[in-house]
Homo-oligomer: A and B are copies of this chain.
Amino acid sequence: MATSEESIVLLTDGAASLLAAKTATSILRYRGENVVAVLDRSRAGQTTDQAFGVGGDTPIVAALSDVPDATTLTIGIAPPGGRVPEDWRAILIEAAGRGMKLVSGLHDFLSNDPEIAAAAEKSGSVIYDVRRNNERDLAKAKDLRDDCLRILTVGQDCSIGKMLTALELIKGLTARDVDAKFIATGQTGIMIEGDGCPVDCVVSDFVNGAVEKQILANQHHEVLIVEGQATISHPAYSCVSAGLLHGSTPHGMIMVYEVGRENVHGVEHVPLQPLPKLIEAHEMLAGLRMPSKVIGIAMNSRRVSEEEAAVERERMRGELGLPIADPLRHGVDELVDAIEKLRAEVKSR
């Protein structure tokens, strides 16, 4: 987790695409002041802005020795399945050997790797496996309060913008003097926020309970924006999404989709569900616990032009009859309005 004194190197070596480097790009976007370099042999010499479209002039280097003063090495990609790529081990052992803190969100814990652990022990280096947890609390469906509004960002797929939308909503609410807290539920969100729960690495019996615990601990805020994970229609990850939906028991949901994406990321032979059907399914599943509606749409329009995005926005607004915006292109004002409207409604019940 980043602290203000840290100087972080982000490891993205071997990332096949920007999508694969989403941890790195998100940390550059939301904790960029702490990042001194990205380590990526195939992109060395570029700036992060050139390579990833974010992070300004932050340099991309080819070796750890290029950044002798860096204190932290953070793994900046999330490979499917969460394993440590074999050709990273030398870099990780080098970093541990020189006493750097290692931060990883992978399912394979770095601290379980004997060589990395030995190097860290010798130098006194700290290994922080963000996904490590021992959650054992069952959800009790009790003590949830209506004076703290719970909003969950849900989506049509993985890696589509649920965390980004949540973080932008926090900024938008904070700008209106609303006391809003980001509930991080994934490794990158936790690295950015400094707390949260890595729900996809919790034993399934305890997922709902782990999420509920995050809610109960934060009800002194006026609004909680809970980071969604995957989608309830995802062939591999629907377990996580369903537990998160019921564990957070949202008053309302913001649905995130990407313009032009047609198939499930990583399971490309499976088509995405159409948004109207997916909205209905989310409302139905959430409603088994508590009535909840999708109150707005966050569109991710990174693949299309400004003009195409504007056309798409109006088309979808008409089709779905909901507030809609690309948080990065259009800001989140419309979505914050929808949240504030819901908050007023819930208060007056």
Residue of A139, A140, A204, A288 with most partner-chain B CB within 10 A: A204
- If A142-B269, A205-B82, A270-B141 touch, whether A246 touches B235 (CB-CB below 8 Å) is yes
The smallest beta-carbon distance between A55 and chain B, in angstroms, is 28
Q: Does A47 contact B (CB under 8 A)?
A: no
Q: Does A238 contact B (CB under 8 A)?
A: yes
Docked pose: A247 CA to B235 CA in angstroms: 7
Copy number of this protein in the oligomer?
2
Partner of A269, one of B141, B240, B277: B141
Q: Does A107 contact B (CB under 8 A)?
A: yes
Give chain A interface residues in 199-236, CB to chain B under 8 Å: 199-205, 207-209, 232-236
Residue of A142, A267, A273, A285 with most partner-chain B CB within 10 A: A285
Contact status A203-B281, CB under 8 Å? no
Docked pose: A267 CA to B137 CA in angstroms: 13
- If A81-B138, A140-B235, A246-B235 touch, whether A205 touches B200 (CB-CB below 8 Å) is yes
Residue of A205, A247, A280, A284 with most partner-chain B CB within 10 A: A205
The smallest beta-carbon distance between A267 and chain B, in angstroms, is 5
User: From A202, which residue of chain B is reached at the shortest CB distance?
Assistant: B204
Q: Interface majority SS on A: helix, strand, loop or mixed?
A: helix
- By a CB distance below 8 angstroms, the chain B residues around A201 are 203-205
Contact status B107-A203, CB under 8 Å? yes
Q: Does A342 contact B (CB under 8 A)?
A: no
Contact status B235-A243, CB under 8 Å? no
- By a CB distance below 8 angstroms, the chain B residues around A140 are 235-236, 267
- If A200-B205, A207-B204 touch, whether A235 touches B141 (CB-CB below 8 Å) is yes
Docked pose: A132 CA to B285 CA in angstroms: 30
Partner of A232, one of B202, B205, B285: B285
Partner of A240, one of B80, B239, B241, B277: B239
Partner of A236, one of B80, B199, B209: B209
The smallest beta-carbon distance between A31 and chain B, in angstroms, is 25
Contact status A288-B202, CB under 8 Å? no
User: From A83, which residue of chain B is reached at the shortest CB distance?
Assistant: B136
Contact status B281-A205, CB under 8 Å? no
Besides the known contacts A235-B246, A239-B239, 9 further A-B residue pairs in the complex with CB atoms under 8 A apart: A107-B205, A138-B266, A140-B235, A141-B235, A204-B239, A207-B239, A233-B289, A241-B242, A242-B285
Closest 10 A/B residue pairs (Cβ) = A239-B243, A242-B242, A233-B288, A141-B235, A207-B239, A139-B236, A200-B205, A138-B236, A238-B246, A204-B240
User: A residues near B, CB below 8 A?
Assistant: 80-82, 107, 136, 138-142, 199-205, 207-209, 232-247, 266-267, 269-270, 273, 277-278, 280-281, 284-285, 288-289
Could you list some 8 contacts between A and B, CB below 8 A? A107-B205, A138-B236, A232-B288, A239-B239, A239-B240, A242-B242, A273-B288, A284-B284
